[in-house]
Amino acid sequence: MKQWKHYALLLVFMLTFGLIAACSNDTSKPSESNATQETKAAFPVTVKDGVGEDVTIKAEPKKIVSLIPSNTEIAYALGLGEKIVGVSDFDNYPEDVKNKEKIGGMEFNVEKIISLKPDLVLAHASSAHNSKDGLKQLKDAGITVLVVNDAKSFDDVYHSIELIGKATGTTEKANEIVHHMKTKLEEIKEKAKNVKQPVNVWVEVSPAPEIYTAGKGTFIDDMLQAIQAKNVAGDQEGWPMFTEEKAVALNPDVIITTYGYYVKDAVNQVLARPAWKDVPAIKNKRVYDVNSDLVSRPGPRLVEGVEELAKVIYPDVFK
């Protein structure tokens, strides 16, 4: 759900087998590629989706519509970019999504999706309840709808990638992506063991007058823990709102903003706040803006978000 909140300035600041061909007696006939055999072996396939329903994909999807940016990023990472025919209004990565048909935001355009004639729609559990009628219309039109789980942890993200991989015949690629993410995350954690003094960090996901931060149960909090940094709002749940007075009282050593894409010159705006002048992060000019998509969108780039946070918080350790 959180990933939607970052689009449109967080939607008012709160609203990712290769089988060896058998030898033929006819040596003049070329063998099928491993990828082709994997796809043929994968279908039909039945998977349990993000709302606990069994979904059967009868044949390899040729045209796919994605209703949420994280699904789109996962699909592209799986090599399915050419099959994507429609994406949400909030999609911004990779660059190629600009060339895809837009199907709306949280309230998607059912008629538009049907007109694109997809054989698979990648929906999301974070909005499935509110979109129940629209998803039913797509199913009634004969379109297979796969609701991807609402990831709350790295393990959940790995499951999302594996789920979409299995549904699209790209299991091998999905396994590669998950393995790479796990390996990279472990490398970062290992490097973070060199941190001698944990730094107190305040993460601001939307600016004044309604200041929101990231508490426990968020990817941002998990990322800070992974790099041995202390989230000064880590005793709060989810995405709490803070008054400026309470935020200042936390006295962070580092301030991270995640809304620079939407607010011009976010760092200098924070540095210029009169009430914050005695906060260590302000006095030492340790305010940084990071790409919100990297630290909140549950897809393959989350590990990049961990690394970006590590580099600005501990530049001496993560050079």
Residue 319, in any domain of the structure: no
Q: What is the pLDDT of residues 93-124, one digit of tens each?
A: 999 999 999 999 888 999 999 999 999 999 99
Q: Please tell me whether residue 22 adopts helix, strand or coil conformation.
A: coil
What type of residue is 13?
F
Tokens of 104: 């709306």
Question: What average pLDDT is seen over the chain?
Answer: 89
Domain that holds residue 112: 2-182
Q: Are residues 28 and 116 in the same domain?
A: yes
Residue 102, in any domain of the structure: yes
Q: Are residues 177 and 246 in the same domain?
A: no
Q: Are residues 151 and 255 in the same domain?
A: no
Q: Are residues 223 and 251 in the same domain?
A: yes
Give the mean model confidence (pLDDT) for residues 3-19.
39
Tokens of 137: 């219309």
Residue 187, in any domain of the structure: no
Q: Are residues 111 and 246 in the same domain?
A: no
In this prediction, residue 13 has a pLDDT band, given cuts at 50, 70 and 90, of very low
User: How do beta strands 45-48 and 54-57 pair?
Assistant: antiparallel
The CATH number linked to 9 is 3.40.50.1980
Q: What is the pLDDT of residues 200-246, one digit of tens each?
A: 999 999 998 899 999 999 999 999 999 999 999 999 999 999 999 99
Question: What's the pTM value of the predicted model, to 2 decimals?
Answer: 0.86
Q: Are residues 236 and 303 in the same domain?
A: yes
- For residues 117-153, one letter each, b for 16 or more C-beta atoms within 10 angstroms of the residue's C-beta and e for the rest, the string is ebbbbbbbbbbbeebeebbebbeeeebbbbbbbbbee
Residue 268, in any domain of the structure: yes
Helices (H) and strands (E) in the chain, counts: 15, 13
- Report whether pLDDT(28) > 90: no
